[in-house]
Amino acid sequence: MTFTVIIPARLASTRLPNKPLADLGGKPMVVRVAERAVQSGASQVAVATDHADILAACRDHGVVAHMTRADHPSGTDRIAEVAAAMSLPGDAVVVNVQGDEPLIDPALIAATAKLIAPDVPMATAAHPIADTAEIFNPNVVKVVLDMTGRALYFSRATIPWHRDGFAQSKETIPAGYMPLRHIGLYAYSNAFLQDYPRLALSPLEQIEALEQLRVLWHGYPIAVHVTPNAPAAGVDTPEDLARVRSYFGQEK
Protein backbone atom coordinates (compact mmCIF):
# COMPACT_ATOMS: atom_id res chain seq x y z
CA MET A 1 0.00 0.00 0.00
CA THR A 2 1.04 3.61 -0.45
CA PHE A 3 0.99 6.20 2.31
CA THR A 4 2.15 9.74 2.99
CA VAL A 5 4.02 10.81 6.10
CA ILE A 6 3.47 14.34 7.40
CA ILE A 7 5.63 15.56 10.29
CA PRO A 8 4.23 18.40 12.43
CA ALA A 9 7.02 20.64 13.73
CA ARG A 10 6.56 23.74 15.88
CA LEU A 11 9.52 25.87 16.91
CA ALA A 12 8.12 26.71 20.35
CA SER A 13 8.94 24.26 23.15
CA THR A 14 8.86 25.09 26.84
CA ARG A 15 11.38 22.44 27.91
CA LEU A 16 13.65 22.48 24.86
CA PRO A 17 13.62 25.72 22.82
CA ASN A 18 14.09 25.36 19.04
CA LYS A 19 13.86 21.58 19.37
CA PRO A 20 13.12 20.76 15.70
CA LEU A 21 16.32 22.58 14.69
CA ALA A 22 18.57 20.92 17.28
CA ASP A 23 21.71 19.64 15.57
CA LEU A 24 22.02 15.85 15.35
CA GLY A 25 25.24 14.85 13.65
CA GLY A 26 25.21 17.84 11.32
CA LYS A 27 21.50 17.84 10.46
CA PRO A 28 18.46 19.37 12.20
CA MET A 29 16.32 16.97 14.21
CA VAL A 30 13.30 17.43 11.94
CA VAL A 31 15.43 16.42 8.94
CA ARG A 32 16.56 13.28 10.76
CA VAL A 33 12.90 12.41 11.40
CA ALA A 34 12.10 12.94 7.72
CA GLU A 35 14.96 10.63 6.75
CA ARG A 36 13.51 7.90 8.96
CA ALA A 37 10.10 8.43 7.38
CA VAL A 38 11.58 8.02 3.90
CA GLN A 39 13.04 4.66 4.98
CA SER A 40 9.52 3.48 5.88
CA GLY A 41 8.61 3.27 2.20
CA ALA A 42 6.30 6.28 2.28
CA SER A 43 5.42 7.57 -1.17
CA GLN A 44 5.70 11.15 0.09
CA VAL A 45 7.21 12.78 3.17
CA ALA A 46 6.50 16.38 4.15
CA VAL A 47 6.97 18.62 7.16
CA ALA A 48 4.13 20.81 8.44
CA THR A 49 5.47 23.84 10.28
CA ASP A 50 4.48 27.25 11.56
CA HIS A 51 7.94 28.82 11.39
CA ALA A 52 10.08 30.06 8.51
CA ASP A 53 13.31 28.82 10.11
CA ILE A 54 12.07 25.22 10.06
CA LEU A 55 10.83 25.66 6.51
CA ALA A 56 14.24 26.92 5.41
CA ALA A 57 16.14 24.18 7.25
CA CYS A 58 14.04 21.49 5.60
CA ARG A 59 14.47 22.92 2.14
CA ASP A 60 18.22 23.31 2.67
CA HIS A 61 18.35 19.53 3.16
CA GLY A 62 15.97 18.61 0.36
CA VAL A 63 12.98 17.90 2.60
CA VAL A 64 9.55 19.03 1.41
CA ALA A 65 7.96 21.43 3.90
CA HIS A 66 4.75 23.47 4.06
CA MET A 67 3.93 26.53 6.13
CA THR A 68 0.72 26.28 8.14
CA ARG A 69 -1.36 28.57 10.27
CA ALA A 70 0.18 29.30 13.64
CA ASP A 71 -3.01 28.84 15.65
CA HIS A 72 -3.65 25.12 15.23
CA PRO A 73 -4.64 23.53 18.56
CA SER A 74 -2.85 20.25 17.77
CA GLY A 75 -0.46 18.54 15.41
CA THR A 76 -3.38 16.63 13.93
CA ASP A 77 -5.01 19.86 12.82
CA ARG A 78 -1.68 21.02 11.40
CA ILE A 79 -1.15 17.93 9.27
CA ALA A 80 -4.77 18.06 8.09
CA GLU A 81 -4.08 21.50 6.62
CA VAL A 82 -1.03 20.20 4.77
CA ALA A 83 -2.81 17.07 3.52
CA ALA A 84 -5.48 19.33 2.05
CA ALA A 85 -2.83 21.56 0.46
CA MET A 86 -1.23 18.46 -1.10
CA SER A 87 -4.62 17.60 -2.69
CA LEU A 88 -4.49 14.04 -1.36
CA PRO A 89 -7.57 11.94 -2.21
CA GLY A 90 -9.98 10.92 0.52
CA ASP A 91 -8.77 7.33 0.60
CA ALA A 92 -5.10 8.32 0.91
CA VAL A 93 -3.37 7.10 4.07
CA VAL A 94 -1.62 9.82 6.07
CA VAL A 95 0.77 9.02 8.91
CA ASN A 96 1.51 11.57 11.62
CA VAL A 97 5.11 11.13 12.75
CA GLN A 98 6.11 13.47 15.56
CA GLY A 99 8.95 15.86 14.82
CA ASP A 100 10.88 14.87 17.95
CA GLU A 101 11.27 11.16 17.08
CA PRO A 102 14.60 11.02 15.22
CA LEU A 103 15.11 7.35 16.13
CA ILE A 104 11.66 6.09 15.17
CA ASP A 105 11.66 2.64 13.57
CA PRO A 106 10.66 2.97 9.88
CA ALA A 107 9.04 -0.48 10.03
CA LEU A 108 6.73 0.73 12.81
CA ILE A 109 5.54 3.58 10.60
CA ALA A 110 4.76 1.19 7.74
CA ALA A 111 3.02 -1.36 9.98
CA THR A 112 0.73 1.30 11.46
CA ALA A 113 -0.14 2.68 8.02
CA LYS A 114 -1.15 -0.79 6.81
CA LEU A 115 -3.96 -1.00 9.38
CA ILE A 116 -6.05 1.67 7.64
CA ALA A 117 -9.00 0.10 5.81
CA PRO A 118 -12.41 1.23 4.52
CA ASP A 119 -13.92 0.50 7.95
CA VAL A 120 -10.87 1.63 9.97
CA PRO A 121 -10.17 5.35 9.56
CA MET A 122 -7.46 5.62 12.21
CA ALA A 123 -4.61 3.50 13.55
CA THR A 124 -1.89 3.76 16.16
CA ALA A 125 0.66 1.54 17.93
CA ALA A 126 1.48 0.09 21.33
CA HIS A 127 3.97 -2.19 23.05
CA PRO A 128 3.88 -4.40 26.18
CA ILE A 129 4.99 -2.77 29.43
CA ALA A 130 7.65 -4.69 31.32
CA ASP A 131 8.33 -2.17 34.12
CA THR A 132 6.04 -1.97 37.14
CA ALA A 133 6.86 1.71 37.63
CA GLU A 134 5.51 2.46 34.16
CA ILE A 135 2.35 0.47 34.80
CA PHE A 136 1.42 2.86 37.63
CA ASN A 137 2.85 6.04 36.06
CA PRO A 138 0.06 8.40 34.89
CA ASN A 139 2.43 9.91 32.32
CA VAL A 140 2.55 6.51 30.60
CA VAL A 141 -0.62 6.16 28.52
CA LYS A 142 -2.12 2.66 28.39
CA VAL A 143 -4.52 1.14 25.89
CA VAL A 144 -6.75 -1.92 26.06
CA LEU A 145 -7.84 -3.75 22.90
CA ASP A 146 -10.74 -5.88 21.78
CA MET A 147 -10.34 -9.30 20.17
CA THR A 148 -9.79 -7.74 16.73
CA GLY A 149 -6.96 -5.47 17.87
CA ARG A 150 -8.99 -2.28 18.04
CA ALA A 151 -8.80 0.13 20.93
CA LEU A 152 -11.44 -0.11 23.62
CA TYR A 153 -10.01 2.71 25.73
CA PHE A 154 -6.90 4.78 26.38
CA SER A 155 -6.08 5.94 29.89
CA ARG A 156 -3.42 7.31 32.17
CA ALA A 157 -4.74 4.90 34.77
CA THR A 158 -3.52 1.31 35.08
CA ILE A 159 -5.73 -0.61 32.65
CA PRO A 160 -6.73 -3.36 32.71
CA TRP A 161 -6.53 -3.50 36.49
CA HIS A 162 -5.36 -6.93 37.64
CA ARG A 163 -7.62 -7.29 40.66
CA ASP A 164 -6.17 -10.42 42.21
CA GLY A 165 -2.56 -9.84 41.23
CA PHE A 166 -2.37 -6.29 42.54
CA ALA A 167 -4.20 -7.27 45.71
CA GLN A 168 -1.17 -9.44 46.49
CA SER A 169 1.59 -7.10 45.32
CA LYS A 170 2.19 -4.03 43.18
CA GLU A 171 5.92 -4.73 43.00
CA THR A 172 5.79 -7.52 40.44
CA ILE A 173 3.85 -7.98 37.19
CA PRO A 174 1.25 -10.77 37.60
CA ALA A 175 1.76 -13.88 35.47
CA GLY A 176 0.05 -13.60 32.10
CA TYR A 177 -0.66 -9.89 32.56
CA MET A 178 0.45 -7.76 29.59
CA PRO A 179 -0.63 -4.12 29.80
CA LEU A 180 0.10 -2.08 26.68
CA ARG A 181 1.77 1.30 26.46
CA HIS A 182 0.43 3.57 23.77
CA ILE A 183 2.95 4.88 21.22
CA GLY A 184 2.19 8.38 19.88
CA LEU A 185 2.19 7.43 16.21
CA TYR A 186 -1.01 7.82 14.19
CA ALA A 187 -2.28 6.91 10.73
CA TYR A 188 -5.53 8.16 9.20
CA SER A 189 -7.52 7.99 6.04
CA ASN A 190 -7.33 11.50 4.61
CA ALA A 191 -11.13 11.74 4.55
CA PHE A 192 -11.22 11.14 8.31
CA LEU A 193 -8.23 13.42 8.90
CA GLN A 194 -10.11 16.28 7.24
CA ASP A 195 -13.21 15.58 9.33
CA TYR A 196 -11.32 15.25 12.60
CA PRO A 197 -10.88 18.99 13.38
CA ARG A 198 -14.66 19.36 13.18
CA LEU A 199 -15.38 16.71 15.81
CA ALA A 200 -16.56 18.21 19.08
CA LEU A 201 -14.30 17.77 22.11
CA SER A 202 -15.36 14.90 24.34
CA PRO A 203 -15.66 14.82 28.14
CA LEU A 204 -13.33 11.81 28.30
CA GLU A 205 -10.69 13.64 26.29
CA GLN A 206 -10.85 16.59 28.66
CA ILE A 207 -10.71 14.41 31.79
CA GLU A 208 -7.76 12.28 30.67
CA ALA A 209 -6.08 14.97 28.50
CA LEU A 210 -5.85 12.41 25.69
CA GLU A 211 -6.86 13.64 22.25
CA GLN A 212 -7.45 10.16 20.79
CA LEU A 213 -10.40 9.64 23.14
CA ARG A 214 -12.33 12.13 21.01
CA VAL A 215 -12.26 9.57 18.20
CA LEU A 216 -13.61 6.73 20.34
CA TRP A 217 -16.21 9.02 21.92
CA HIS A 218 -17.66 9.76 18.48
CA GLY A 219 -17.79 6.05 17.63
CA TYR A 220 -14.88 5.68 15.22
CA PRO A 221 -12.64 2.60 15.53
CA ILE A 222 -8.88 2.86 16.10
CA ALA A 223 -6.79 -0.15 15.06
CA VAL A 224 -3.65 -0.77 17.10
CA HIS A 225 -0.42 -2.36 15.89
CA VAL A 226 1.33 -4.10 18.79
CA THR A 227 5.09 -4.22 18.47
CA PRO A 228 7.00 -6.51 20.85
CA ASN A 229 9.67 -4.01 21.84
CA ALA A 230 9.56 -0.47 23.18
CA PRO A 231 10.64 2.03 20.53
CA ALA A 232 13.54 4.40 21.09
CA ALA A 233 12.41 7.34 23.20
CA GLY A 234 11.78 10.72 21.61
CA VAL A 235 13.36 14.01 22.60
CA ASP A 236 11.61 16.01 25.33
CA THR A 237 14.43 17.14 27.60
CA PRO A 238 18.08 18.24 27.37
CA GLU A 239 19.03 14.79 28.67
CA ASP A 240 17.11 13.16 25.82
CA LEU A 241 18.88 15.42 23.35
CA ALA A 242 22.29 14.43 24.72
CA ARG A 243 21.39 10.74 24.39
CA VAL A 244 20.27 11.09 20.79
CA ARG A 245 23.27 13.25 19.88
CA SER A 246 25.50 10.47 21.19
CA TYR A 247 23.74 8.03 18.88
CA PHE A 248 24.24 10.17 15.80
CA GLY A 249 27.80 10.94 16.79
CA GLN A 250 28.54 7.22 16.61
CA GLU A 251 26.99 6.77 13.19
CA LYS A 252 29.41 6.35 10.33
Contact between 99 and 33 under an 8 Å Cβ cutoff? The reply is yes
14 pLDDT band, cuts 50/70/90, is low
Residues 6+ apart with CB under 8 A from 246: none
| Tens digits of residue pLDDT in 27-68 | 999 999 999 999 999 999 999 999 999 999 999 999 999 999
For 208-215, which contacts have Cβ atoms below 8 Å and span 24 or more sequence positions? 208/154, 208/155, 208/156, 209/156, 210/141, 210/154, 210/155, 210/156, 211/74, 211/76, 212/124, 212/151, 212/154, 212/182, 212/186, 213/153, 213/154, 215/122
pLDDT higher than 80, residue 228: yes
111 pLDDT band, cuts 50/70/90, is very high
What's the mean pLDDT in 215-220? 97
| Structural domains of the chain in order of their starting residue, each with its CATH number | 1-104+236-251 (3.90.550.10), 105-231 (3.90.550.10)
Cis-peptide, bond into residue 203, ω within 30° of zero: no
Single out the residue of 102, 105, 91 nearest to residue 41, CA to CA: 105
pLDDT value at residue 11: 84
What's the mean pLDDT in 209-216? 96
| Coil, helix or strand at residue 228 | coil
Q: What is the DSSP letter of 74?
A: S
The Cα 46–Cα 35 span in angstroms is: 11
Amino acid identity at 239: E
| Coil, helix or strand at residue 250 | helix
Contact between 3 and 87 under an 8 Å Cβ cutoff? The reply is no
The Cα 232–Cα 101 span in angstroms is: 8
pLDDT value at residue 75: 85
Q: What is the mean pLDDT of the chain?
A: 94
pLDDT value at residue 250: 47
Contact between 26 and 117 under an 8 Å Cβ cutoff? The reply is no
